[in-house]
A and B are shown apart, each in its own frame.
Chain A
Amino acid sequence: MTNNFISLDKVNLHYASVAYKERSLKSWMANALKTRRKKPVISDIHALKDVSLNIQQGEKVGLLGHNGAGKSTFLKTIAGLYPISGGKLHIQGQVRSLFDLSLGFEPEATGRENILYRGLLLGLSPKFIGEKEEEIIKFADIGAFIDYPIKTYSAGMQVRLAFSISTSVGGDILLLDEVIGAGDANFMAKAKARIASLIEQSKILVLASHDFSSLKSLCNRGVVLHQGEMIFDGEIRSAIDIYNKVNGIAI
Chain B
Amino acid sequence: MNPNYIQGIWNTRYFWIHLSLSDLRSRWRRSFFGVFWSMLQPLGITLLISFVFSRFFATDITKYAPYILSGILIWDFLIANVTGGALSFVQADAYIKQCQHPLAIYTLRTVLTALIVLMMASVPLIGWVLVVMPENFGICWLSVLCVFPLLVLIAWPLATFMAYVGVRFRDLPPTLALAMQALWFVSPVYFEVKLFREGGLDKLVDYNPIYHLLQVIRAPLLQGEWPTIENYLFCFSTSILFFMLAIWLGSTAERKVIFYL
Question: A99-B98, A121-B15 are known contacts. Are A113 and B22 too (CB-CB below 8 A)?
Answer: yes
Q: Which of A98-134 contact B (CB under 8 A)?
A: 99-100, 103-106, 108-109, 113, 116-117, 120-123, 125-126
Q: Summarize A's interface: helix, strand, loop or mixed.
A: loop
Question: A113-B22, A121-B99 are known contacts. Are A24 and B258 too (CB-CB below 8 A)?
Answer: no
In the complex, chain B residues whose CB is within 8 Å of the CB of A109: 22, 25-26
Chain A window 13-35, contacts with chain B (Cβ cutoff 8 Å), 1 for yes, 0 for no: 00110110001111010000000
Question: A25-B171, A122-B99 are known contacts. Are A15 and B259 too (CB-CB below 8 A)?
Answer: yes
A79 interface contact, C-beta 8 A: yes
How far is it, in angstroms, between the C-alpha of A104 and the C-alpha of B15 when the chains are bound? 13
In the complex, chain B residues whose CB is within 8 Å of the CB of A97: 98
A161 to chain B, nearest CB (A): 14
How far is it, in angstroms, between the C-alpha of A79 and the C-alpha of B15 when the chains are bound? 19
A251 interface contact, C-beta 8 A: no
In the complex, chain A residues whose CB is within 8 Å of the CB of B15: 117, 120-121
* Total A residues in contact with B, Cβ cutoff 8 Å: 32
Q: Which of A25, A100, A123, A125 contacts B97 (CB 8 A)?
A: A100
* Total B residues in contact with A, Cβ cutoff 8 Å: 28
A106 contacts B22, CB within 8 Å? yes
In the complex, chain B residues whose CB is within 8 Å of the CB of A1: none
Please give me the residue from chain A that is nearest to B169 by CB atom.
A25
In the complex, chain B residues whose CB is within 8 Å of the CB of A80: 100
In the complex, chain A residues whose CB is within 8 Å of the CB of B101: 121
B26 contacts A23, CB within 8 Å? no
Show 27 residue pairs from A and B whose CB-CB distance is below 8 angstroms, ordered by the A residue. Answer: A16-B259, A16-B260, A19-B259, A19-B260, A23-B168, A25-B169, A25-B175, A26-B171, A28-B169, A79-B100, A80-B100, A81-B99, A81-B100, A81-B258, A82-B259, A83-B256, A100-B98, A103-B94, A106-B22, A106-B26, A108-B26, A109-B22, A109-B25, A113-B25, A117-B15, A117-B18, A126-B14
Which chain B residues have a beta carbon within 8 Å of chain A's beta carbons?
11-12, 14-15, 18-19, 22, 25-26, 29, 94-95, 97-101, 168-172, 175, 255-256, 258-260
Which chain A residues have a beta carbon within 8 Å of chain B's beta carbons?
15-16, 18-19, 23-26, 28, 79-83, 97, 99-100, 103-106, 108-109, 113, 116-117, 120-123, 125-126
